[in-house]
Amino acid sequence: MWNWSNKRVLLTGGAGFLGSFVADKLRKRGCKDIFIPRSSEYDLVDGHNCKRVIADSSPNVVIHLAARVGGIGANRENPGSFFYDNLMMGVQLMEEARKNSVEKFVAMGTICSYPKFTPVPFREENLWNGYPEETNAPYGLAKKMLLVQSQAYRDQYGFNSIFLLPVNLYGPGDNFNPQSSHVIPALIKKCLDAVATGAPSITVWGTGKATREFLYVEDAAEGIVLATERYNSSEPINLGAGFEISIRDLVGLIVELTSFKGEILWDRTKPDGQPRRCLDTRRAREEFEFTAEVEFREGLLKTIEWYKEEQKKSTKGGSL
């Protein structure tokens, strides 16, 4: 039996998009001691800060969500820093956790670690059957090394670490910065900006043929907490909703929900990214009874409404 009331948790990335939902789930389960380091005080790319954050928090459990992430554009522009920063954060933090006898380490991987042409639905056993899609391979491979480390540390030291592979996330609190956002917030912003300014069209990258799967952020947080409570193996495990939608259909749905009436222009000079993405979610369901709850259309509406409210605050002198 897992009792959160007597656990001290180090939650890296806990002030971020996903982390804020995980922190809320932990508090509702009775966790009273959550240490959330801020990057301004603990730059975890620096090994000294990994050592310091473990010493300062004295955790029983580490949930490592902190990452440097972005959409296709950001990955293309920052392959070196995305590789280095994510690798160094994860590898050094896990090592310090091991040396300090942390009870459990939860490492977050990424769907970007899967091979470019993985058979759909993506099964965990296919993770090593090829090279990732080129635009985000450095990021995907950096995160994948946490799986290697997790399994090696369990074999040599008996260290209890798990490795989760979440699909693309979305929801309230997402990153809407056009320079680094993922596809859903980018499309929502484009459509709502066009509605507000009366623009006759929006431009979307690629051909629209690629497919994606999306998991509502609150569902993802629940999956992470359930895995922390119930899963104790270094075999990788997918977190997803188990459905697939083309980018073209996604654009059509967001256009409908934002009431944009203009033209969609497809910029075919820009990459589609990985051709298809859809996870096999059976292992998570069997191992810790995780199933996504929020229907996709409902989740999109919640995200759009959240962003509209943030825009209103911004125009009244707040910040987005």
Nearest-5° angle of CA 89, CA 37, CA 239? 60
User: How far is residue 83's CA from residue 98's CA, in Å, rounded to a whole number?
Assistant: 23
Domain-wise residue ranges, the chain = 4-314
Mean pLDDT, residues 104-129: 96
pLDDT at 274: 86
Token pair in block for residue 276: 């298809």
Averaged pLDDT of the chain: 95
Residue with tokens 């759909």: 120
Per-residue pLDDT band at 1 (split at 50, 70, 90): confident
Per-residue pLDDT band at 182 (split at 50, 70, 90): confident
Give this prediction's pTM: 0.93
Alpha helices in 231-295 (DSSP H): 247-258, 282-288
Does 139 qualify as catalytic in the annotation?
A: yes
Per-residue pLDDT band at 273 (split at 50, 70, 90): confident
More confident residue, 59 or 136: 59
Catalytic pick from 42, 114, 139, 231?
139
Mean pLDDT, residues 163-192: 93
Nearest-5° angle of CA 123, CA 128, CA 132? 95
Residue 277, helix vs strand vs coil: coil
Tell me the CB-side half-sphere exposure of residue 11, using CA atoms within 13 A.
Answer: 27
Token pair in block for residue 29: 């389960």
Alpha helices in 100-168 (DSSP H): 137-157
Treating both helix axes as pointing N-terminal to C-terminal, what angle do 296-315 and 247-258 enclose, rounded to 10 degrees? 50
In CATH, the number for domain 4-314 is 3.40.50.720
Mean pLDDT, residues 86-96: 98
Is the link from the previous residue into 200 a cis peptide, with omega within 30 of 0? no
User: pLDDT tens, 291-307?
Assistant: 999 999 999 999 999 99
Which residues, in sequence order, are bridge partners of residue 6?
none
User: pLDDT tens, 122-140?
Assistant: 999 999 999 999 988 999 9
